[in-house]
């Protein structure tokens, strides 16, 4: 890699970036999209809680989903599976029944029931689950005090640390800012390929490595600086700043790689917008799990931005540290490496 | 030959099953212009792309200034200039910014964009965005960009295609100036008149092969037919006579004509490169 060439190319890209009217259109298109998403979302509240139930014997009331709705019950084979299901987000809560539950109910004595909650389930949801379990026990026994409930939070308990809605939005807005940069970089790259300027560079001493390094530095740098600026303004660097900065660097690398992939299949601004928006929406999904706990299930972990969102959210909002989040960062770094390899491979084919 | 700037030996390239270039060989000497002529689809641009490193030959070898392009492409690319057929400039940047970017890439610290723009007839427009330029101005800027590094070999792909006469003439002047400076030139074109004006040697490409390779004069001598076209008075009107040159009886025929007829005009008629191309390949240049 030739540093003076990379420096020249980065300077050119920044100049192109600064004078491109594209960003005005992007801002307007982004605004329109966000408004559209808002109106597409249902305007009625649907609070159906899916609860896992484990017990050697399970009373009939705990196996049938109540007809009035709002609750969905799923029987689970083991206590360990129940715990894992709660951690994975498959259930908003788990109900572990004692082996002697039927005998207690028959004897008119309260049974000791343990409720498992994921760390991020808000207090109102926990209260709702507790009420629902008491109601099920009442239906089974006809007694109002049929159960003694013990709550157990799996993982880090965040019950005592309520998070303000705007702080819940912080990871989502950081992802949105990063992804906006992805669109901008993808457009720059698609233009280079379509207008043949990349070809003009490749018949000079500029190598493919120089070209990708310059684009990577430009994209990662711009995305990172803007995301850090936002997080800093939003007060997200008060705890574990180094960890959050590393997460944002990895996030910036990830969106740069996504930009390479989007550019490799795009021919013009409209196709960048089309493919880019698809990536945009997918990347944003994990942050809904932070905004609305229980709204998404464990499958969101297949989306790489989950690990960025989770790291930023838990570090900034729950003071989680390196020991808690190292796995997130490792997985995020691995996703970055895989996406970068795929992006460079795809874009190289396009440019050749 | 050791002083050849470009040496191509049995170069071949295929797109799937289609063989675009069929094992061609040629050389371009120092300070020489090779006109690479042929119709669309003949293999000119594919050869151009192989020599400039945009395509990797499927077989055969090529050296630029003694450097094998399969091993020392980067070094070779530092000493060549390339002008593409289609415009590929940064249109949101000014002409000066475009040139300065490539000057940085080539490490030309004493480079003056204004002086180069003056050479191609664009002085005074250097700070305008390229998007505001006409096609002719953009092509002249492309030529300027290709000579930033004072290249030892200049590759030009249809540099005057579709341009107005003034722009074409300016570009031809720059090409000749570059040869004077010491550059060798590889010029692809389907404009036979342009090739005749500029090229020291021409290669006729047809269906991926070189059908002929020689100087324009030798090709005309070898394949062309020279004649005198004579107009004579005939009664109240005029009549045409033709005398073939380069024949043993030509001199007698000329003397007899002047002795026996009232000659009004005499013109010499030479074969053009296009005539020769059609004769050799059986097809035109369109």
Q: Phi/psi of residue A7, each to 5°?
A: -60, -45
CB contact under 8 A, B77 and A205: yes
Residue B112 phi/psi, 5-degree rounding, is -120, 110
Inter-residue contact A293 to A211 (CB < 8 Å): no
Both B77 and B147 in one domain: the answer is: yes
Q: What ipTM was estimated for this complex?
A: 0.84
Chain A residue nearest residue B148, CA to CA: A204
* Chain A residue set in contact with B, beta carbons under 8 Å: 4-5, 8-9, 11-12, 15-16, 19-20, 195-197, 199-207
Distances (CA, A) of A326 to A88, A193, A332: 18, 38, 10
Pairing of strands B59-64, B67-68: antiparallel
Looking at the fold, whether A330 and A231 belong to one and the same domain comes out as: yes
- If we measure between CA atoms, which residue out of B208, B207, B203 comes closest to residue B276? B203
Whether residue A196 is contained in a domain is answered as yes
Domain encompassing residue A149: 49-153
Shared domain for B144 and B253, answered yes or no, is no
pLDDT tens, residue order, chain B (286 aa)? 457 999 999 999 999 889 999 999 999 999 999 999 888 888 999 999 999 999 999 999 999 999 999 999 989 999 999 999 899 999 989 999 999 999 999 999 889 999 999 999 999 899 999 999 999 999 999 999 999 999 999 999 998 888 888 888 899 999 999 999 999 999 998 888 888 889 999 999 988 999 889 998 888 888 777 788 899 998 888 999 888 887 888 899 999 999 998 999 998 877 788 888 888 887 766 6
d(CA A160, CA A151): 13
The answer to whether A204 contacts B89, with C-beta atoms less than 8 Å apart, is no
What pLDDT, in 10s, does the model give residues A47-71? 567 889 998 888 888 887 776 667 7
Domain that holds residue B254: 225-269
Same domain (yes/no): B92, B174: yes
User: Domain total for chain A?
Assistant: 2
Q: Is the same domain home to A11 and A56?
A: no
**Across the interface, do A205 and B93 touch by the CB < 8 Å criterion?**
no
Which residues in B have their CB inside 8 Å of a CB on A? Answer: 52-54, 74, 77-78, 80, 82, 84, 86-93, 97, 101-102, 104-107, 145
| A130-157 tens-digit pLDDT | 888 888 888 888 877 678 888 888 766 5
- Same domain? For B119 and B205 the reply is yes
Q: Which is nearest to B42 in space by CA: B191, B205, B275?
A: B205
A10, A204, A348: best to mutate for the B interface, most B CBs within 10 A? A204
Residue A117 forms part of a structural domain: yes
A159 in any annotated domain? no
Q: Both B208 and B250 in a single domain?
A: no
User: Two tokens at A256?
Assistant: 């740069």
Same domain, B127 and B243: no
**Residues A264, A339 within the same domain:** yes
Residue B141 lies in a domain: yes
DSSP 8-state code for residue B130 = G
Strand segments, DSSP code E, in B153-223 are: 153-157, 184-189, 201-206, 209-214
Each residue's pLDDT tens digit, B22-46: 999 999 999 999 999 888 888 999 9
Q: Most B CBs within 10 Å: which of A12, A15, A22, as the mutation test of the B interface?
A: A12
- Answer yes or no: do A199 and B88 touch at CB < 8 A: yes
Residue A81 lies in a domain: yes
Strand partners, A111: A147
Residue to mutate among B56, B73, B89, B101, with most A CBs inside 10 A, is: B101
Residues A169, A295 share a domain: yes
Same domain, B234 and B203: no
Does the distance separating the beta carbons of A203 and B52 come in below 8 Å?
Answer: yes
Structural domain contains residue B281: no
Residues of B in contact with A8 (CB under 8 A): 101, 104-105
Q: How big, in percent rounded to 5, are the helix, strand and coil portions of chain A? A: 65, 10, 25
Helix axis angle for A208-233 and A241-264, nearest 10°, is: 130
Burial class for A230, CB neighbours closer than 10 Å (0-12, 13-18, 19+): middle
CA B185, CA A259: separation in Å to the nearest integer?
39
- Are A7 and A133 within one domain? no
Which pair of tokens denotes residue A86? 């709660």
């Amino acid at each position: 890699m030739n540093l003076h060439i990379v420096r020249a190319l980065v300077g050119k890209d920044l100049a192109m970036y600064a004078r491109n009217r594209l960003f005005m259109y992007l801002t307007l298109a982004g605004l329109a999209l966000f408004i559209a998403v808002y109106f597409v979302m249902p305007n009625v509240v649907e609070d159906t809680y899916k609860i896992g139930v484990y017990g050697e014997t399970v009373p009939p009331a705990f196996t049938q989903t109540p007809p009035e709705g709002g609750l969905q019950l799923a029987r689970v084979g083991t206590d360990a599976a129940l715990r894992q299901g709660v951690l994975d987000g498959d259930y908003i809560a788990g109900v572990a029944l004692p082996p002697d539950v039927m005998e207690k109910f028959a004897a008119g004595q309260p049974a000791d029931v343990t409720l498992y909650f994921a760390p991020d389930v808000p207090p109102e949801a926990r209260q709702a689950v507790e009420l629902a379990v008491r109601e099920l026990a009442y239906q089974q026994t006809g007694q109002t005090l049929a159960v003694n409930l013990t709550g157990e939070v799996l993982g880090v308990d965040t019950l005592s640390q309520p998070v303000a809605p705007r702080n819940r939005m912080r990871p989502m807005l950081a992802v949105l800012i990063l992804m906006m940069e992805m669109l901008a970089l993808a457009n720059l790259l698609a233009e280079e390929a379509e207008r043949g300027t990349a070809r003009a560079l490749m018949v000079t001493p500029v190598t493919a490595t120089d070209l990708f390094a310059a684009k990577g530095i430009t994209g990662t740098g711009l995305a990172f600086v803007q995301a850090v600026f936002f997080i800093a303004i939003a007060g997200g660097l008060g705890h574990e700043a180094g960890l959050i900065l590393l997460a944002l660097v990895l996030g910036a690398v990830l969106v740069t790689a996504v930009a390479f992939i989007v550019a490799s299949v795009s021919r013009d601004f409209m196709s960048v917008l089309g493919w880019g928006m698809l990536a945009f929406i997918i990347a944003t999904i994990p942050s809904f799990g932070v905004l609305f706990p229980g709204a998404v299930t464990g499958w969101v972990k297949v989306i790489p931005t989950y690990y960025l969102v989770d790291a930023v959210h838990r570090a900034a909002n729950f003071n989680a540290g390196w020991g808690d989040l190292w796995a997130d960062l490792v997985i995020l770094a691995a996703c970055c490496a895989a996406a970068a390899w795929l992006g460079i491979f795809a874009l190289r084919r396009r440019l050749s | 030959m050791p002083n050849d700037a470009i040496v191509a030996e049995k170069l071949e390239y295929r797109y799937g099953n289609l063989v675009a270039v069929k094992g061609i060989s040629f050389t371009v000497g120092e300070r020489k212009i090779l006109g690479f002529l042929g119709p669309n689809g003949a293999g000119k641009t594919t050869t151009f792309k192989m020599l400039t490193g945009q395509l990797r030959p499927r077989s055969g070898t090529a050296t630029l200034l003694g450097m094998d392009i399969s091993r020392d492409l980067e070094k070779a690319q530092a000493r060549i200039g390339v002008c593409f057929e289609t415009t590929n400039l940064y249109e949101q940047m000014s002409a000066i910014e475009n040139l300065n970017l490539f000057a940085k890439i080539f490490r030309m610290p004493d480079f003056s964009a204004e002086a180069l723009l003056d050479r191609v007839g664009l002085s005074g427009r250097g700070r305008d965005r390229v998007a505001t330029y006409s096609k002719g101005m953009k092509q002249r800027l492309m030529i300027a960009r290709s000579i930033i590094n004072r290249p030892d070999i200049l590759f030009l792909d249809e540099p005057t295609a579709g341009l107005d006469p003034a722009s074409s003439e300016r570009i031809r002047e720059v090409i000749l100036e570059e040869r004077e400076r010491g550059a060798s030139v590889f010029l692809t074109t389907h404009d036979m008149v342009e090739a005749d004006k500029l090229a020291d040697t021409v290669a006729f490409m047809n269906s991926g092969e070189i059908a002929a390779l020689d100087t324009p004069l030798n090709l005309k001598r070898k394949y062309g037919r020279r004649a005198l076209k004579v107009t004579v008075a005939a009664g109240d009107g005029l009549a045409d006579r033709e005398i073939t040159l380069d024949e043993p009886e030509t001199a007698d025929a000329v003397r007899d004509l002047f002795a026996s007829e009232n000659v009004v005009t005499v013109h010499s008629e030479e074969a053009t490169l296009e005539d020769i191309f059609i004769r050799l390949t059986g097809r035109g240049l369109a």
